[in-house]
Amino acid sequence: MTSPSLGALLRPTYLHLLVLGWLTQLIFGVAYWMFPRHSAKGPHGSEWLGWTSYWLLNTGLVLRAIGEPALALGGRSGWILVIAALLQLGAGWAFVFNTWPRVKAR
Amino acid sequence: MPSLSVWCIRMALLYLGLGFTLGALMLSSPVLGFAPAVLKLRPLHAEILLVGWMAQLAFGVAYWILPRLPGNRPRGRERVAWLSLALLNAGVLAVGLGQILNAPTSVLVVGRVAEALAVFAFATHAWTRAQRSSAIR
């Protein structure tokens, strides 16, 4: 395999590891930490939803990092990508639902 | 949290959910068999997540947490910040939808100009608030 094709093969994985695994996850973590308190009893909203978002995001990211290059190389890993897509989708909406009530005017 | 930040951050959260939904559709498209149609959404997916989600979230959080100014306008020129919010969202929609709907190039140019003006307007607003601590409270 020549290096340009290897680069093209890994480009989507590289982009998503950085933008999703680094930037978006950093935002999720900092927002969970410093956004206004949800309530006195549960300042961070649903802790369960927070952890769900974390695990779904990272599991989905790892699966796509495996499945995307494998599919491009001709492997039969399409189902891994479907699972990765569903996990990441769940992570995003879990974060939205948990964060939304904390974004409020004083 | 000021109302402008609430609007910015909630818009950003909606873009996050929408962008992740488009991304999930694209990622699963090889198996689900609608790849050609769905892959056309890539520019919208990128625009929504990079500008609509990340940049807009940064605007909202910065407006909220940057040091406040002394006097009766602690958050500086509020109208300029609202203008940047409107321009940014107009730009995201024009560029994102324009690319997938094959809109004329002029629509994309107007959208990018709106985004650039949004950044300039926000920077103008934030500049006065980003000062040494002796000038702020």
Q: Give the closest-approach CA distance of A11 to chain B in angstroms.
A: 14
- Measured distance CA(A48)–CA(A53) in Å, rounded: 9
Q: What pLDDT is attached to residue A18?
A: 95
**Which of A84, A92, A104 lies at the smallest CB-CB distance from B27?**
A84
Whole-prediction pTM value?
Answer: 0.91
Instruction: Provide the 3-class DSSP secondary structure of residue B89.
Output: helix
Query: Which residue in chain B is spatially nearest to A103 when comparing CA positions?
Result: B6
Query: Which residue in chain B is spatially nearest to A12 when comparing CA positions?
Result: B27
Cβ <8 Å between A81 and B27:
yes
Q: Give the closest-approach CA distance of B107 to chain A in angstroms.
A: 27
Band (B135; pLDDT cuts 50, 70, 90)? low
B51 touches chain A (CB under 8 A): no
Residues B7-52: tens digit of each pLDDT: 999 999 999 999 999 999 999 988 887 777 888 899 999 999 999 9
Residues B54-91: tens digit of each pLDDT: 999 999 999 999 999 888 888 888 999 999 999 999 99
Among candidate residues B30, B6, B45, B62, the one with its CA nearest the CA of residue A92: B45
Q: What pLDDT is attached to residue A1?
A: 46
Q: Is the pLDDT at A13 greater than 70, yes or no?
A: yes
Give Cβ neighbours of residue B59 (< 8 Å, ≥ 6 apart): B8, B81, B84, B85, B88, B122
Between B136 and B34, the more confident residue is B34
Percent of chain A with pLDDT over 90: 65
Q: How many DSSP H helices and E strands does chain A contain?
A: 4, 0
Residues A36-79: tens digit of each pLDDT: 988 888 889 899 999 999 999 999 999 999 998 888 888 787 89
Least confident residue range of A6-20, A51-65, A85-99, B93-107: A6-20
* Mean pLDDT of all residues in B100-105: 94
A78 contacts on B by Cβ (under 8 Å): 30-31
Q: Around Cβ B8, how many Cβ atoms within 10 Å? A: 30
Q: What pLDDT is attached to residue A4?
A: 47
Among candidate residues B1, B45, B62, the one with its CA nearest the CA of residue A19: B45
B71 torsion bin: left (phi>0), alpha (psi -120 to 50), beta (else): left
Q: Around Cβ A53, how many Cβ atoms within 10 Å? A: 24
Cβ <8 Å between B28 and A86:
yes
Cβ <8 Å between A84 and B1:
no
B106 touches chain A (CB under 8 A): no
Q: What pLDDT is attached to residue B36?
A: 77
B73 touches chain A (CB under 8 A): no
Q: Mean pLDDT for chain B?
A: 92
